[in-house]
Chains A and B, each alone.
Chain A
Amino acid sequence: MNFSGADRKRQLVTVGVGTVLMLVMAGVLIAGFRLATQMNANVAALQTASALQTYPNTLVAQLTSLRDRLETRAYSGQALADLRATVEKFDREMKQLGEFSHSPQFEQAQALWQQYSPVLDPVIDFTDQPYVDSDEEGSTLSPEGRTHYADVKRAQLFTQENSEPLQALLAGLSTQLQTEASTGANRLRVLLSAGVLAALVLAAAAAWFQLTRGRSERLAREAQEQTRDILRTVKEGFFLLDADYKIGSVWSDALTRLFGRSDFAGLAFEELLKDLVPPATLATAMKYIKLLWGERAHENLMKSINPLGQLEIHVETASGAREARYLQFDFHRVMGPKGVKHVLVSVGDITSSVLLAKELQESQENANQQVDMMLGVMHIDPVQLMSFLDSTETGLQLVNAILKEPARTDAEFRKKLDGLFRELHSIKGEASALNLMSVAHRTHALEDMVTELKKRPELSGNDFLPLVLKLDDLLAHLRSVRELATRLSNLRESAPTEARGGRSSGKGGTDELSRTLQSLAERLAKDHNKKFRLSVSGLADIPRAYVPTLKDVLIQMLRNSAVHGIEPAEVRRANTKSDVGEVRIEFRKSADGFELMFEDDGAGLLPEQLKAAAVRKQIVTPEEAAAMDTRAAMALIFRPGFSTQEQVSMDAGRGVGMDVVAKSVYAIGGKIGVTTNPGKFTRFKVSLPASEETSTAVA
């Protein structure tokens, strides 16, 4: 909710109206004060003018009284004093009136009054004795008295004549002053009314302002409460970052729950993340925050490079346990008039969705693996598959037995590695031959681990933990393959006989071997982009006792031929060879037992190349290599760790294979030899003694 715009406008209007009304009030009051002062003066002037109206008659009366007294030779001193007082009073009050009024009437009255002065002054200035007492004449006017009498008489006449006009002028003045007072009173009334009206309007404005302010405050309070409720209830953590990358004073309650702290006010963003993320992530996050302040930063683009989109943190729970949580930080820039004002940060706990996605991915992978496994298993003969599973499980039991041998020293641990490798390599070879890649890949990963362990300077039990886990995984996988194979087998058995075809009518182990080799040859050709044909003969004559060993031997030889021997079609063509290579396997009886011949028409073995590879692998020194003849160079291929292949792949490059082949042949009392013609062929000949089980060989 946003009140600020409307509120501000309303406040400005209220303040404006209030100020105008206050000014009006002040104007009214000042004008009223002036008017009242003027009225006060008018009233005083009116009173004076009214009082003055009686004075002309008073003067006439007092002069008459003075004349009478002079004529009767009575005491005139008091009458003269009264006259003098009246004249002085008249004079003083005329002057006072002159201060208030400058009207024509007053000017005329003033002028007339001034004419009184030459007449009245000789009278009131008289200070001598008016009478002279004598015995004969009694009391008579003194010469000064006579002059004084004449002055009084003249003044009496003058005042009698001018009394009425002066009175009329003073009355006119009074009327004028009265009119002015009345006008003033009316103006004051109007002013007072305006003042009262302005006061009422001001009171109304104040009431309205109070009302609207109260309403605004209530709305603001409600808005604050709503904001507080939102911040308390929302599941995401919200806060604002200022330009110093510090958290503001308001944040949602969820933040406390997410980070297990509540001291966010003024906390630096870096400080918040410091203990939760690795230093590299923290540095990237801080760079990102700085970028957000840039004017040119494009918000959508910034969103796409957010380094805190899914952040794994570990927090300590109330019970002291450390718990992994996944947080999602979102940043939104809050723009102000001068650019970016704040950055609004929202933090969501996406742990459950991340875990759900992981579970989903795992189950998806499991489902894919199941499908792959099923597709991988479907094309294999059930008997052959079961035989493979049995021998593999036996092999893995042997692996486990090697692991179980107690070990405490580096030497004891290291001793296990060769044995483990041989067993695993053999399993991988068989799995690969059957094109059971899910098993082959797992075994290959185990081989990788063993190879890695060989390189470590010091070995301990801890180093073997991942190996045991992988072994467990492989066993679990084999169990799944067995379950699937059993189900497929049941399915096949329940299907009509004709649908099954004649696949089960083979010749046991040797038929199975032939099929295995053909299948392996097809896969190898495909994987290594080679073209070759495999022809086999006499495998049915292999005594049963020799089958497992010769199977491993032939698998290894076939892999070597596919990887090292047979050239790519274009190379063959360039060497005037057929595009498609030939690999021949022949097993036959010999004078003193049996003979297995394996031959390919590939690149053959180059003694110099073999020597160089052996030097590179540090199997022999350059000097030793230089001293070797062709025969000794050829024998290098049977040395442990030898391989001309630099890259390790599923099929070659580990430097194991031919040494294992040779050891297996020796183990059953045989011999192995190799002949080659560079560019033409490589031929291995394995001689085996007559077996006790010769008679049991499948015909």
Chain B
Amino acid sequence: MIQESELKTFVEGTTNYFEVAAQQPASIGSPYLVTEGQPSVHEYTGVINITGKREGVVYFTAPKAMLTVLLMKMQESDFSHETMRDLVGEVANTISGNARKDFGRDFVISVPSVLTGEKPEIPAMPGLRSFVIPINWRSHSAKLVVALK
């Protein structure tokens, strides 16, 4: 069973990014479970695969509007599709870096991949419930999904 400390590592990795990159902290909303199938995603999703002590996926999915505001806050003027992809990839990278730091060798964490669209091909984890943690930043909301066994 996934531990609270493990879940917090992923959450902190995400909220830290907002704190550092946008100098504006993100808060987490009410977490819940998705017991059947996969949670719905936003337009941009950064995925990291995890093997080793635990197996599964962790992804950060955010709507375009949120990423746009985030880029503006970061003084970026390029709001292209590629920049959005890079940004969501960077968030996933921060999550993965934080996890590497906390978990050590027990977890083998992949290089993040970025998926776009509302039905991306996220690796299915049959029979596994997903933890969905809403990430609230300003008036926008993204999701951090953790599905590990």
Q: Using Cβ atoms and an 8 Å threshold, which residues of chain B touch A400?
A: 32-33, 35
| Cα–Cα, bound, A460→B3 (Å) | 19
Q: By the criterion CB–CB under 8 Å, are B32 and A403 in contact?
A: yes
Q: Using Cβ atoms and an 8 Å threshold, which residues of chain B touch A406?
A: 29-30, 134, 141
**Those of A393-408 within 8 Å (CB) of chain B:** 397, 400, 403-408
Identify the closest chain A residue to B28 (Cβ): A461
Binding stretch for chain A, among B42-50, B64-72, B83-91, B99-107: B99-107
- B131's partner among A320, A405, A472 (CB-CB below 8 A) is A472
Q: By the criterion CB–CB under 8 Å, are A460 and B133 in contact?
A: no
Q: Using Cβ atoms and an 8 Å threshold, which residues of chain B touch A475?
A: 33, 35, 129
**Those of B3-49 within 8 Å (CB) of chain A:** 3-4, 7-8, 11, 27-33, 35
- A465's partner among B35, B104, B133, B141 (CB-CB below 8 A) is B133
Identify the closest chain A residue to B132 (Cβ): A404
Identify the closest chain A residue to B107 (Cβ): A321
Q: Majority SS of interface residues in chain B?
A: mixed
Q: Using Cβ atoms and an 8 Å threshold, which residues of chain B touch A404?
A: 30, 32, 132
16 CB contacts below 8 A, A to B, read A317-B104, A317-B105, A320-B100, A320-B101, A321-B101, A403-B31, A406-B134, A407-B29, A416-B30, A461-B28, A461-B30, A462-B11, A465-B28, A469-B2, A469-B131, A476-B129
Q: By the criterion CB–CB under 8 Å, are A472 and B1 in contact?
A: yes
Q: By the criterion CB–CB under 8 Å, are B100 and A319 in contact?
A: yes
Q: Using Cβ atoms and an 8 Å threshold, which residues of chain A touch B104?
A: 317, 321-324
| Cα–Cα, bound, A142→B2 (Å) | 158
Q: By the criterion CB–CB under 8 Å, are B133 and A461 in contact?
A: yes
Q: Using Cβ atoms and an 8 Å threshold, which residues of chain B touch A412?
A: 30
Question: How far does the Cβ of B40 sit from chain A's closest Cβ, in whole Å?
Answer: 12
Q: Please give me the 5 A-B residue pairs with the lowest Cβ-Cβ distance, nearest first.
A: A461-B28, A323-B104, A403-B32, A404-B32, A321-B104
Question: How far does the Cβ of A475 sit from chain B's closest Cβ, in whole Å?
Answer: 7
| Cα–Cα, bound, A461→B125 (Å) | 25
Q: Majority SS of interface residues in chain A?
A: helix
- B33's partner among A321, A405, A408, A471 (CB-CB below 8 A) is A471
Q: By the criterion CB–CB under 8 Å, are A465 and B31 in contact?
A: yes
| Cα–Cα, bound, A461→B31 (Å) | 7
Q: B-side interface residues toward A, CB under 8 Å?
A: 1-4, 7-8, 11, 27-33, 35, 100-105, 129, 131-134, 136, 141
| Cα–Cα, bound, A408→B32 (Å) | 14
| Cα–Cα, bound, A319→B134 (Å) | 31
Interface contacts beyond A403-B30, A462-B8, A462-B28: sample of 20 additional A-B pairs, CB < 8 Å, sorted by A = A317-B105, A321-B101, A321-B105, A323-B104, A400-B33, A403-B31, A406-B30, A407-B29, A413-B30, A461-B133, A465-B4, A465-B28, A465-B31, A465-B133, A469-B2, A469-B4, A469-B7, A472-B1, A472-B33, A475-B129
- B101's partner among A322, A324, A416, A466 (CB-CB below 8 A) is A322
Q: Using Cβ atoms and an 8 Å threshold, which residues of chain B touch A323?
A: 104-105
Q: A-side interface residues toward B, CB under 8 Å?
A: 317, 319-324, 397, 400, 403-408, 412-413, 416, 460-462, 464-466, 468-469, 471-473, 475-476
| Cα–Cα, bound, A468→B146 (Å) | 12
Q: Using Cβ atoms and an 8 Å threshold, which residues of chain A touch B27?
A: 408, 460-461
| Cα–Cα, bound, A412→B105 (Å) | 40
| Cα–Cα, bound, A332→B1 (Å) | 41
Q: By the criterion CB–CB under 8 Å, are A465 and B7 in contact?
A: yes
| Cα–Cα, bound, A404→B132 (Å) | 9
Identify the closest chain B residue to A408 (Cβ): B136
Q: By the criterion CB–CB under 8 Å, are B102 and A322 in contact?
A: yes
| Cα–Cα, bound, A382→B108 (Å) | 43
| Cα–Cα, bound, A412→B29 (Å) | 10
Q: Using Cβ atoms and an 8 Å threshold, which residues of chain A touch B4?
A: 465-466, 469
| Cα–Cα, bound, A627→B74 (Å) | 64
Identify the closest chain B residue to A397 (Cβ): B35
- B1's partner among A319, A321, A473 (CB-CB below 8 A) is A473
- A460's partner among B2, B28, B105 (CB-CB below 8 A) is B28
Question: How far does the Cβ of B76 sit from chain A's closest Cβ, in whole Å?
Answer: 26
Question: How far does the Cβ of A283 sit from chain B's closest Cβ, in whole Å?
Answer: 26
Q: Using Cβ atoms and an 8 Å threshold, which residues of chain B touch A408?
A: 27, 29, 136
The verdict on A468 contacting B8 (CB below 8 Å), with A317-B104, A476-B1 known, is no
Q: Using Cβ atoms and an 8 Å threshold, which residues of chain B touch A468?
A: 31-33, 131
Q: Using Cβ atoms and an 8 Å threshold, which residues of chain A touch B141?
A: 406
| Cα–Cα, bound, A469→B141 (Å) | 22
Q: By the criterion CB–CB under 8 Å, are A407 and B30 in contact?
A: yes
Q: Using Cβ atoms and an 8 Å threshold, which residues of chain B touch A407?
A: 29-30
Q: Using Cβ atoms and an 8 Å threshold, which residues of chain A touch B105?
A: 317, 321, 323
Q: Using Cβ atoms and an 8 Å threshold, which residues of chain B touch A469?
A: 1-4, 7, 131
Identify the closest chain B residue to A467 (Cβ): B31
| Cα–Cα, bound, A323→B101 (Å) | 8
Interface centre among A320, A404, A407 (most CB of B within 10 A): A404
| Cα–Cα, bound, A464→B2 (Å) | 15
Interface centre among B1, B29, B100, B141 (most CB of A within 10 A): B29
| Cα–Cα, bound, A267→B4 (Å) | 37
Question: How far does the Cβ of A401 sit from chain B's closest Cβ, in whole Å?
Answer: 8
- A464's partner among B3, B8, B31, B136 (CB-CB below 8 A) is B31
